[in-house]
Amino acid sequence: MTTSQVVLVTGVSSGIGRAAAEQFAQRGCAVFGTVRNIAKAAPIRGVTLVEMDVRDTASVQRAIAAIVAQTGRIDVLVNNAGMNLMGAVEETSVGEAQALFDTNLFGILRTTQAVLPHMRQRQSGRIVNVSSVLGFLPAPYMGLYAASKHAVEGLSETLDHEVRQFGVRVTLVAPSYTRTSLDANSPSASAPIGAYDRERGIVTEAVAGHVSGAPQPDGVAATIVEAALGKWRMRRMPPGQASLLSKLRRFMPAGPVDASLRKGLGLV
C-alpha cells in the first residue's frame, strides 16, 4: 500500500495526458497511465503504464481492479482519453458519432463507474474530466465533437452533486487549441458532401493554423494537476485563449461572440 496520492490518468500515449502524468510523478504521486497497446507505448519516467481501452468495459474494470489490488486505492482519476472528428453535422454518420461518444463520453462513464465504489468506500477522491472550449462554445464543422464535450460538461456537473456526499468531488478542465497529435491529426467524416467543401476547407485550414501556433500541452497539464490536487473548483481554464473565450461566452452578447468565432475560423 502506498501513502502518496494514487493518480490514474487515461490516454497517456502522447499530448496532454502524457504531460499530465509526468507532472503528477514530479509532484511525488504514484501515477498510473493508461494506453491501448502497452507494447507500442513509450515509457514515462515515474509512471506505471497500464493497458486499458476506455471503449471496453471489461478492459476498464480489469485495469482498475489491478491498480487497487496493488495500491489499495485510487485518489485521483483524470479522464483525459478522447478523440476528435472534423465534418459537417449532415455528413457525419451515426456510426461515426457513436464511435466518438463511445470514447469521449461513455469512456468517462466506464472509468468513473469502476473507480467510484473505491472512492465512496474511502470517503474521498477527485475526478478530473478533460473537456474543451467546444464544450461551452460550439464551432462549425466540429459539431459532434462539441456535442460530446457538452455531454461531458453536463455529466460532470451532475456527478459532482451526487458524489460530494461521499467526500468525492468532480471538476472540469477545458483547454483550447493545444499542440498535440489529437488536434493536429483530427480525422474527418468519411462521406463528405460537396456542398460543404468550400467552408469546411476554410475552417480546417484555420484550425490547423491555430494548432501549429498553439502552446505545448504543459500548461494544460499543470491546470489538470492543480484541479486534481488543489482546492476544488467546478471549472478550471488553462491560461491563455481558453480563459479568454470563457469570459467572452459568459459576459458578451451572443451576436458579437458568434461573429468573433466565425471570423477566427475564416468565415464571413
Output the domain CATH number for residue 213: 3.40.50.720
203 pLDDT above the threshold of 70: yes
Q: Active-site residue among 141, 145, 177, 196?
A: 145
Instruction: Examine the residue annotation and report whether 59 is marked as an active-site residue of this protein.
Output: no
The confidence band for 187, taking pLDDT boundaries of 50, 70 and 90, is confident
Give the model confidence (pLDDT) of 215-259 as tens digits. Answer: 899 999 999 999 999 999 999 988 766 566 766 677 778 888 888
Give the model confidence (pLDDT) of 36-52 as tens digits. Answer: 999 999 999 999 999 99
The confidence band for 19, taking pLDDT boundaries of 50, 70 and 90, is very high
Q: Which amino acid is at 116?
A: L
- The residue ranking higher by pLDDT, 61 or 256, is 61
pTM equals 0.93
Q: Active-site residue among 132, 148, 149, 156?
A: 149
The mean pLDDT of 160-178, rounded to a whole number, is 95
Which structural domain, as residue segments, surrounds residue 70? 6-243
Within 10 angstroms of residue 70's Cβ, the number of other Cβ atoms is 14
What pLDDT score does 241 carry? 63
Residue 60, domain member (yes or no): yes
Instruction: Examine the residue annotation and report whether 131 is marked as an active-site residue of this protein.
Output: yes
What pLDDT score does 242 carry? 59
Q: Is 126 helix (H, G, I), strand (E, B) or coil?
A: strand
Residue 213, domain member (yes or no): yes
Angle between helices 94-104 and 106-122 (to 10 degrees): 20
pLDDT averaged over every residue in the chain: 93
Q: Rounded to whole angstroms, how far apart are CA atoms 223 and 131?
A: 12
- The residue ranking higher by pLDDT, 7 or 133, is 7
The mean pLDDT of 121-147, rounded to a whole number, is 95
Residue 248, domain member (yes or no): no
Q: Rounded to whole angstroms, how far apart are CA atoms 194 and 54?
A: 34
Question: What is the count of structural domains for the chain?
Answer: 1
Instruction: Examine the residue annotation and report whether 177 is marked as an active-site residue of this protein.
Output: no
171 Cβ contact partners less than 8 Å away, ≥ 6 residues apart: 126, 127, 128, 129, 156, 160, 227, 228, 232, 233, 234, 235, 236
Residue 267, domain member (yes or no): no
Residue 249, domain member (yes or no): no
184 pLDDT above the threshold of 60: no
2 pLDDT above the threshold of 60: no
Residue 253, domain member (yes or no): no
Residue 260, domain member (yes or no): no
Residue 263, domain member (yes or no): no
